Amino acid sequence: MRPLPPEQIKRIKAIKAAKRAGKPGLGDRVASALAAVGITKERVSKALGKPCGCAKRQAKLNELGRWFGIG
């Protein structure tokens, strides 16, 4: 197994540090912006008639954002 390149190790450490710091990530920011215009998890679930999966999507966006240095 080959060792990870130094820039990838840096990125992984930054992601872990951001998670520990509790900074708002990309998913948190999207959720906040949508809530500001009245689109909430509850409303989406009610409109769809099933759970919206918003929390899972928010977590994925947070993870993706951290790869790009957002949050």
Q: Considering Cα of 13, then 69, then 21, then 27, what sign does the dihedral take? A: negative
Q: What is the pLDDT, as a whole number, of residue 20?
A: 66
pLDDT tens, position by position, 53-63: 989 999 999 88
Answer for the pair 15, 67: CB distance below 8 angstroms, yes or no.
Answer: yes
For the chain, give every domain's residue range: 24-71
pTM for this prediction: 0.64
The alpha carbon dihedral of 21, 25, 29, 35 has a sign of negative
- Residues sharing a CB contact under 8 Å with residue 31, sequence separation 6 or more, in sequence order: 41, 54, 58
30 neighbors 61 (Cβ within 8 angstroms): yes
pLDDT tens-digit profile of 21-60? 777 889 989 999 999 999 998 999 999 999 989 899 999 9
Confidence band of 12 (pLDDT split at 50, 70, 90): confident
